[in-house]
Amino acid sequence: MGRLQQTVFERNVPARSVVDHALARTRQAVFWQDDLGTPDRYPRLSASARADVVVVGGGCTGLWTALGIKQRDPGARVLLLEGRSVGWAASGRDTGLVTAPLGHENLAAMDVAVTGLGLDCGWERTGVVDLAVEPHQIDQLQDAAVAAAVAGVPHTYLDRAKVRAEIASPTYEAGLVRPGGGALVDPARLAAELARAASALGVEIFEETRAVRLAVPARGAVALRTTSPAGEASVRAERVVLGTGAFPPLLRRHRRQAAAVYEHAVATEPLDAGLLAALGWRGRQGLADAAHRYRLTDDDRIVFGGYAVRPAGGRMSRAHENQPETARRLAEHLLTTFPQLEGVRLTHRWAAATARGVRTGPDRLAQPGALGPGRDT
Ligand SMILES: Cc1cc2nc3c(=O)[nH]c(=O)nc-3n(C[C@H](O)[C@H](O)[C@H](O)COP(=O)(O)OP(=O)(O)OC[C@H]3O[C@@H](n4cnc5c(N)ncnc54)[C@H](O)[C@@H]3O)c2cc1C
Ligand 1 centroid–CA 367 distance in Å is 11
Do residue 352 and residue 270 come from a single domain? yes
- CB contact at 8 A, 218 and 374: yes
Mutate to test the pocket of ligand 1, among 33, 123, 247, 360 (most ligand atoms within 8 A of CB): 247
- Any domain includes 175: yes
- CB contact at 8 A, 295 and 184: yes
Q: Write down the pLDDT at residue 278.
A: 97
Phi-psi label, residue 283: left if phi above 0, alpha if psi -120 to 50, beta otherwise: alpha
Do residue 175 and residue 194 come from a single domain? no
Is 0.85 surpassed by the pTM of this model?
A: yes
Q: pLDDT for 317-344, tens place per residue?
A: 888 889 999 999 999 999 999 999 999 9
Q: Write down the pLDDT at residue 324.
A: 93
- Any domain includes 3: no
- Any domain includes 2: no
Strand pairing of 49-56 and 231-242?
parallel
Ligand 1 centroid–CA 357 distance in Å is 14
Ligand 1 centroid–CA 245 distance in Å is 5
Which of helix, strand or coil describes residue 76? coil
Q: pLDDT for 147-156, tens place per residue?
A: 999 999 999 9
d(CA 72, CA 54): 15
- CB contact at 8 A, 224 and 317: no
Do residue 327 and residue 307 come from a single domain? yes
Do residue 293 and residue 235 come from a single domain? no
List all residues whose CB is within 6 A of at least one atom of ligand 1: 56-62, 81-84, 88-91, 93-98, 210-211, 243-247, 250, 263-265, 293, 305, 352, 354, 363-366
Ligand 1 atom closest to 286 (CA): 8
Strand partners, 305: 265, 293
Ligand 1 centroid–CA 265 distance in Å is 14
Ligand 1 centroid–CA 90 distance in Å is 4
Strand pairing of 231-242 and 222-228?
antiparallel
Q: Write down the pLDDT at residue 100.
A: 80
Instruction: Please report, for residues 126, 247, 305, 313, 316, the alpha-carbon distance to residue 259 in angstroms, rounded to integers and kept in the order given.
Output: 32, 9, 19, 10, 9
Strand partners, 175: 131, 158
List the single range of 198-202, 221-225, 254-258, 365-369 with lowest mean pLDDT. Answer: 365-369
Do residue 329 and residue 226 come from a single domain? no
Do residue 98 and residue 12 come from a single domain? no
Ligand 1 atom closest to 63 (CA): 25
Ligand 1 atom closest to 265 (CA): 1
Closest C-alpha to ligand 1, atom 25: 59
- What is the average pLDDT score of the chain? 91
- Any domain includes 22: yes
Contacts of 20 (CB under 8 A, 6+ apart): none
HSE on the CB side for 133, CA within 13 Å?
A: 26
d(CA 95, CA 304): 7
The 8 Å CB, 24+ separation contacts for 324-329 are 324/23, 324/349, 326/262, 326/264, 326/351, 327/23, 327/26, 327/264, 327/266, 328/19, 328/23
Do residue 94 and residue 190 come from a single domain? yes
Do residue 94 and residue 19 come from a single domain? no
Q: pLDDT for 28-80, tens place per residue?
A: 999 999 989 888 999 999 999 999 999 999 999 999 999 999 999 999 999 99
Structural domain count, the chain:
2
Closest C-alpha to ligand 1, atom 26: 245
Ligand 1 centroid–CA 92 distance in Å is 7
- Any domain includes 337: yes
HSE on the CB side for 22, CA within 13 Å?
A: 29
Mutate to test the pocket of ligand 1, among 41, 61, 107, 128 (most ligand atoms within 8 A of CB): 61
CATH, residue 102: 3.50.50.60
Q: pLDDT for 109-136, tens place per residue?
A: 999 999 999 999 999 999 999 999 999 9
- CB contact at 8 A, 78 and 340: no
d(CA 70, CA 68): 5
d(CA 250, CA 216): 11
Contacts of 34 (CB under 8 A, 6+ apart): 348
Ligand 1 atom closest to 209 (CA): 43
Mutate to test the pocket of ligand 1, among 65, 91, 235, 318 (most ligand atoms within 8 A of CB): 91
Ligand 1 centroid–CA 33 distance in Å is 15
**pLDDT beyond 90 at 295:** yes
- Any domain includes 92: yes
CATH, residue 280: 3.30.9.10
CA 279 to chain centroid: 25
Give ∠ CA 286-291-294 in degrees, rounded to 5. Answer: 25
**pLDDT beyond 80 at 1:** no
Do residue 150 and residue 57 come from a single domain? no
- Any domain includes 190: yes
Q: With pLDDT > 70 as the criterion, what percentage of the chain qualifies?
A: 93
- CB contact at 8 A, 308 and 152: no
Ligand 1 atom closest to 86 (CA): 49
Do residue 63 and residue 177 come from a single domain? no
Do residue 55 and residue 169 come from a single domain? no
Q: Whole domain around residue 317: which residue ranges?
A: 8-31+124-183+257-357
* Phi and psi, residue 131, nearest 5°: -125, 140
- Any domain includes 75: yes
Do residue 114 and residue 129 come from a single domain? no
**pLDDT beyond 90 at 218:** no
Over range 224-231, report the average pLDDT: 97
